[in-house]
Amino acid sequence: MQPLIYPDLPGPSPLLRGYAGMQNVILRQKKTIRDVDVRGRRVLVRADFNVPLDEDGTIADDTRIRASLPTIRYLCEQNARVILCSHLDRPKGVVEERLRLALVANRLSVLLDRPVVALRDCIGPEVESAVAGMSGGDIVLLENLRFHPEERADDPAFAKHLAGLAEVYVNDAFGASHRAHASVVGVPEHLPAVAGLLLEKEVKTFRRILEDPERPFAAVIGGAKVSDKLEVLENIISRVDLLLIGGGMAATFLASRGYGTGISHVETDRLDAVRAISAQATELGLRLLLPRDIVVAERLEAGSPTRVVPATEIPDGWLIADIGPGAADEFSHELSRCRTVVWNGPMGVFEVPAFAEGTRRIAATLANLRGTTVVGGGSTADAVVRFGLDDRLTHVSTGGGAALTMLAGRPLPGVTALDDAEEP
């Protein structure tokens, strides 16, 4: 059996010092909204208004709407005619009344304290005449793009119709920029295409931590499955000084080292990949920590019996529900010495209060850290919002899949599609 903890090196790994700048550049520098003249012009803004909805159809969390305000305010100050568009949820290419964007327009209007007109479609003669009637500073919101199957299919004619509404295209939808959809990659073929302020902030934040982090630099990776995070682990391992593993994926790591994991889900087809990551950690001389103790449960439900056990002694018939208090202490201690931390994936099934403590401890540690703290991942962002700690982190990404794509070191199609900035 192999040890749980890899070599105990103090501080940043010597192999990695001065590593900055050696990485291939993830994204070339792109034009932003400040690099084009938008005064008085018709500007199509691809925003990410894909907000979670309650059972009764009201907006459960308007973080993404609020995150779009700086770009919209900037355009209004420039007296631009602002044409917003977005998708909401997953309508199957047909109109679904409960997914109309009028509810977003209403919320936006309150937040901006000015009218936002919701249109009943996103292309067609009615939309064209509404846009033709706009004055400088007016705002309209096109209907849910995914009511048309052409959006997801990146249909060229659909993209051309959308582009025909405007003179400038702004992508501010970080959360949709990993998708090669018509409004993300098709429209910018036809118009001057630039990044909005939110997209710029998101991309810059991830670039900075990946390419030139202040060290020591740690990654905390959790969540349900290794397979969702394999590319992230493979990319991040050559960049960090410390890698902490929690969540359900700890089961596959423990199993790869020969430990029993009870009835936890082990991804047997990923054991070799996980062993390779552990071997690479050793080779690079960085510390990879698995939780030393575990909260195990009989079921992943409220009310299930629970126990705290050493990670090496998970009993038969029980499964991993959260990292244990000893692991939370150790992880917090390690993180408190870091200057940059990126976190993706909860440490346990935080939706159930009995299994939320490990995730809460990590969130609290990051909230108190004097350094750069970045959260990427839909559930991880939900968790820090739920704990009321999001305001105390450097950056909580608005994009789940897009953040994972950046952490995996892959380009975002929606960013690649934008105009390159001029060479300095």
Annotated catalytic sites, by residue?
A: 64, 225, 378, 401
**Binding map of ligand ADP across residues 328-347, x = CB under 6 A, - = no contact:** ----------------xxx-
Beta-ladder partners of 194: 170
Identify what 248 binds: Mg ion, ligand ADP, none; CB under 5 to 8 Å per kind: ligand ADP
Helix axes 197-211, 69-77, angle to 10 degrees: 130
Cβ proximity to ligand ADP, 247 vs 414, nearer residue: 247
- Determine which residue in the list 118, 194, 240, 349 makes contact with ligand ADP, applying CB under 6 A: 349
- Determine which residue in the list 236, 320, 335, 418 makes contact with ligand ADP, applying CB under 6 A: 320
Peptide bond into 315 cis (omega under 30): no
Residues 200/171, Cβ–Cβ less than 8 Å: no
Tell me how far, at minimum, the Cβ of 84 lies from Mg ion, in Å.
26
Q: What is the strand order of the sheet 242-245 is part of? A: 287-289, 242-245, 217-221, 340-344, 372-375, 395-396
Report in angstroms the alpha-carbon separations of 418 from 39, 81, 112, 137, 184: 20, 20, 27, 24, 9
Identify what 371 binds: Mg ion, ligand ADP, none; CB under 5 to 8 Å per kind: none
For ligand ADP, the binding residues in 382-401 under the rule CB under 6 A are: 400
CA distance 304 to 317: 13
Tell me which residues touch Mg ion (CB under 5 A): 378-379
Does 228 sit near ligand ADP (CB under 6 A)? yes
Tell me how far, at minimum, the Cβ of 256 lies from ligand ADP, in Å.
16
Identify what 320 binds: ligand ADP, Mg ion, none; CB under 5 to 8 Å per kind: ligand ADP
Name the nearest CA neighbour of 343 among 310, 387, 312, 313: 387
Q: Which two tokens stand for residue 226?
A: 């290794």
Tell me how far, at minimum, the Cβ of 37 lies from ligand ADP, in Å.
39
DSSP state of 354: G
Tell me how far, at minimum, the Cβ of 322 lies from ligand ADP, in Å.
7
CA distance 125 to 186: 20
Tell me how far, at minimum, the Cβ of 222 lies from ligand ADP, in Å.
6
- Determine which residue in the list 377, 399, 409, 414 makes contact with ligand ADP, applying CB under 6 A: 377
Cα end-to-end span (Å), the chain: 55
The dihedral over CA atoms of 22, 24, 27, 31, expressed in degrees to the nearest 10, equals 60
Identify what 247 binds: ligand ADP, Mg ion, none; CB under 5 to 8 Å per kind: ligand ADP
Identify what 346 binds: ligand ADP, Mg ion, none; CB under 5 to 8 Å per kind: ligand ADP
Cβ proximity to ligand ADP, 53 vs 224, nearer residue: 224
Where in 190-313 does DSSP place strands (E)? Answer: 193-195, 217-221, 242-245, 287-289, 293-297, 306-310
Tell me how far, at minimum, the Cβ of 282 lies from ligand ADP, in Å.
25
- Determine which residue in the list 192, 248, 399, 409 makes contact with ligand ADP, applying CB under 6 A: 248
Cβ proximity to ligand ADP, 196 vs 248, nearer residue: 248
CA distance 90 to 147: 9
Cβ proximity to ligand ADP, 320 vs 335, nearer residue: 320
Chain residues binding ligand ADP by CB under 6 A are 222-224, 228, 247-248, 300, 320-321, 344-346, 348-349, 351, 377-380, 400
